[in-house]
Structure 1
Amino acid sequence: MSYRQAQTSGVQVNPIGNRLSKHEFGEIVIDPAASPPEAGDLALPIEQLSERIRIARDAEASVILCYGAHLIKNGLGPVVADLVREGWITHLATNGAGVIHDWEYAFQGRSEEDVRSNVADGSFGAWDETGRYAMVTLATGVLRGMGYGESIGRLVHEGGVWVPSADTLRGRLSAWAQAPIADETIGAAADLLHCIELGSWPQGWTDIKHAAPEASLAATAFANRTPLTVHPGIGYDIVYVHPQAQASVFGRAAGIDFRVFCQSVDDLGQSGVVISVGSAIMAPQVFEKAASVANNLRSQRNVDAIAPYIAVNDLQPATWDWAHGEPPASDPAYYLRFLKSFSRTTAEPLSYLAGDNRVVMCNLHRLLMHPASS
């Protein structure tokens, strides 16, 4: 006998325009052309990081930037977008919140809500457009073999989404049932048909106007054919509050993105760079599994394991020198997942930059984009 389940299909949602959002994009955005903050003690490790990125790109190795939502909420999207356009960063990876804030800033020019107040009255995350457009975008994207990040980037870049007709999907499913073949998109077709019938989605092309598409890092990545992958957890993000949310849709999209991420990790080789900014759990946990996948496949090709240079930026004060290995389990530093896990995935010494991500990313931008003025 199965356990009782809450009827989440009964959740009431409101237009996102009714939400009192904390920040306008114009209030937080950082101009990439502005002088960066004083780097202080971080100046040397940031310079070393920039040099390793140059080495990686000269070797055509990956430069992967993993980040949490605060990179977006701190207005660093345009700074990172510059680095993407110029080819300094070859892969972006974030969690579900990172792409949600990115999309909300693009859609309505503002994001972030009062969690304490809105949880109390049941309105936290219960915003129609954020959940509904994520669902329709991912369901149609997966059908085309696109993952979470690419689908959202395409939505913003193209300003809308194409939904095939229910009859087309039924015909595809019927044909497959009569002559089944290996086709991982067939489940996506069933998901999409279910979503159309559940949510009364319009079929064909739907315009989805974005007030500030230039604010979207996902759209920049899509336009530049730079992978942006999203690595969510079911229930972690506000999109799962929506009554139409289907875990299978998010799971299929995230599954594609994990494989895309594994490819970029494989492409790190011996010269690549991994940068983790404000991602205490997602980045180290996903990276260590992707590194294992990459090394497994590399061993079958008789190729050496990856040996990337890894730089981690967070606010936690540094109490242990990770260049000398792990601390004992009796030391609290042992339980800093974003340092321990990364340190276990490369033979290179781990570089930890304890400080504000705006200081790190803006100074890194200057060193890479304007080396003559550095």
Structure 2
Amino acid sequence: KPIVWGIGGHIVKTGLAPVIIDLMKRGFVSAIASNGSVLVHDTEIALVGFTSEDVDATLSKGDFGAARETGEILNSAAKRGQQDNIGLGEAMGREVLQKKPPNAGDSLLCQTYKYKIPFTAHLTIGADIGHFHSSCDGASLGATSHADFKLFCSIVKELNGGGVYLNLGSAVVMPEIFLKAVTVVRNLGFPLEDFTTANFDFIQHYRPITNVVRRPTAGGAGHGFSITGHHEIMIPLLAAHILCGDSFFAEARTK
């Protein structure tokens, strides 16, 4: 059964993409779903090896988010994706990989595209830096993100009977997307039960607790867990437990 990873931008910004990529290559990542900020940060890491900017220093001058290259890549991918009838996540992976980035091995977009792992991107129009660039086309962003939502619904359908959905570091967008996908699956008459959800974050927020951990699994439909801690600590520990099981922690306790 699938293990689906829903992620926010801080997972990439804190350098955890290589951990997830390693798990993906070992068969523990069936699909990745992200908000729009992941596209920004993952693209910049692939191309230049670092990401983020000093918002306080650039906002007053109107320079925040104005880097031409990042915005052009995001918007070009959306336009080409709409032309080819593919989702935004796949379009971004293709767009970035075609530029032969030096850090493709550390990029979720590049590696999911290379290994044909579904990557769905779910936008909030106006929330990401590329949306105010002159190259932006709202129709292509909407079409490709909507295509990804439909793909995501088909992935969530497969959670029935033992699948796992993990929400990592997304406090609003991915919990809302997941909840809507759950209701789509059930509205269409497909069973969705006996699955597991978990929310990982350094603060437990309302939407992940409600829309990932509690509501989808209510009434005995599944099991939900909230796991609190900094991503840089908890995600590597999760990976260690997946790969090594209880023996990893038993050995650590003896040292």
**Normalised by the size of structure 1, how large is the TM-score?**
0.62
User: 2: CA distance between counterparts of 1:258 and 1:239?
Assistant: 20
The correspondence for 1:99, drawn from 39, 46, 53, is 39
User: 2: CA distance between counterparts of 1:357 and 1:153?
Assistant: 24
1:338 is aligned to 208
The correspondence for 2:193, drawn from 306, 311, 331, is 306
2:252 is aligned to none
**TM alignment of 1:1-374, pairs within 5 A:** 61-157=1-97, 159=98, 208-297=99-188, 299=189, 303-316=190-203, 336-342=206-212, 343-346=214-217, 347-371=221-245, 374=248
From the CA coordinates, give the structure whose radius of gyration is larger: 1
SS at match of 2:227: strand
CA apart distance, 1:262:
0.4
Q: Which runs of 4+ in 1 moved over 3 A?
A: 370-373
User: 2: CA distance between counterparts of 1:348 and 1:373?
Assistant: 27
User: 2: CA distance between counterparts of 1:371 and 1:308?
Assistant: 20
SS at match of 2:5: strand
CA apart distance, 1:244:
1.6
Q: Which moved more, 1:130-139 or 1:62-71?
A: 130-139
Corresponding letter in the other structure for 1:288: L
User: 2: CA distance between counterparts of 1:230 and 1:267?
Assistant: 19
SS at match of 1:276: strand
CA apart distance, 1:209:
4.6
> Do the aligned partners of 1:71 and 1:77 also contact (CA within 8 Å) in 2?
yes
2:253 is aligned to none
> Do the aligned partners of 2:130 and 2:136 also contact (CA within 8 Å) in 1?
yes
CA apart distance, 1:373:
5.3
Larger RCO, structures 1/2 (Cα 8 Å, 6+ apart): 1
User: 2: CA distance between counterparts of 1:109 and 1:316?
Assistant: 28
Identity of aligned residues (%): 30
> Do the aligned partners of 1:156 and 1:216 also contact (CA within 8 Å) in 2?
no
1:355 to 1:249, Cα distance in 2 relative to 1, 3 A: same
CA apart distance, 1:371:
4.2
CA apart distance, 1:109:
1.5
CA apart distance, 1:138:
1.8
Corresponding letter in the other structure for 2:90: E
Corresponding letter in the other structure for 2:211: S
CA-to-aligned-CA distance 1:122-180 (integer Å, 9 cap, x gap): 111111111112111221122222111111111233x2xxxxxxxxxxxxxxxxxxxxx
Corresponding letter in the other structure for 2:25: R
SS at match of 1:153: helix
**Normalised by the size of structure 2, how large is the TM-score?**
0.90
Paired residues, number: 244
User: 2: CA distance between counterparts of 1:238 and 1:69?
Assistant: 13
Corresponding letter in the other structure for 1:350: G
Corresponding letter in the other structure for 1:344: R
User: 2: CA distance between counterparts of 1:146 and 1:87?
Assistant: 24
User: 2: CA distance between counterparts of 1:373 and 1:82?
Assistant: 20
User: 1: CA distance between counterparts of 2:12 and 2:116?
Assistant: 20
CA apart distance, 1:248:
1.0
User: 2: CA distance between counterparts of 1:245 and 1:314?
Assistant: 32
> Do the aligned partners of 1:291 and 1:306 also contact (CA within 8 Å) in 2?
no
